[in-house]
Structure 1
Amino acid sequence: MKSFRKELFFNLPSRRGLVNITNLVQQAVTESGVLEGLVLINAMNITASVFINDDESGLHHDYEVWLEKLAPEKPYSQYRHNGYEDNADAHLKRTIMGRESVVAITKGSLDFGTWEQIFYYEFDGKRTKHVLVKIIGE
């Protein structure tokens, strides 16, 4: 059984942003040498998310609109968390979108369903954050 760990670093120029990280995760799988196993992709910050879905711009827009309705950024005063920081909405958005994803590895490749891609979603950007890619298998 092999174990491989890699960190991916992101510093998005805007407060919120979505990045397709599928190719970066596949590169890590290739580096690991694991042919059959699992990969965990985990946002290592409490104001960011990793999830799997379709890479379609209309859907990406819909996420923004939907999340902003559920946990609007402003007014900042609506949240008790906002005192030292103004990112309570980012914490809530992360909870909604999830912390991590797990993907099977088959014959050295990510084993996806139709249209599936892996995304990093930042809700409180403008500073460096990272994603853990942990691979186990043979």
Structure 2
Amino acid sequence: MPNTSDTRGASRDPRARRTRALLRSAVLDLAMEKDLDGITMSDIAERAEVNRATVYLHYKDREDLLLDATESTMDGVVEAARACRLTTDAHALPDTNPVHLVSLFTQVDKHRAVYRRMLGEDGSPRFAARLERLLAQAWSEQLLTGTPP
């Protein structure tokens, strides 16, 4: 899934890719420790062990960095949602767990701390809107094609 955040162009330079990975990791770590509003670009730079100006070379703002960092967590959830069947299996036993839903909730659980922060009361509206758009698109495609995954 392509990154549609507002990040400045991704570089082929391995140093730039490494720096961006450090920044993404730093902001996700910080997001697990404190409210998003309490995270500054200086905090991120310090955690990533880079100069604050370096953060701005790669991202226009904190929200842009958060969206880029959380993109991979959304990929798994959207793919699991895309695999969900729209109808129940008439031949399934009543006590059988629907595998597609178990897979979806396993993906959410894997990154529950990120989702709690990003979708919570003080979370990121851009993150929520992006995830909603991706999920709606996945289910809409399934409805339009009428075929199970």
Q: Which has the higher helix share?
A: 2
Q: Which one has a bigger Cα radius of gyration?
A: 2
What TM-score comes out, normalization by structure 1 length? 0.32
Q: Which has the higher strand share?
A: 1
The structure, 1 or 2, with the larger RCO (C-alpha pairs under 8 Å, 6+ apart) is: 1
What TM-score comes out, normalization by structure 2 length? 0.31
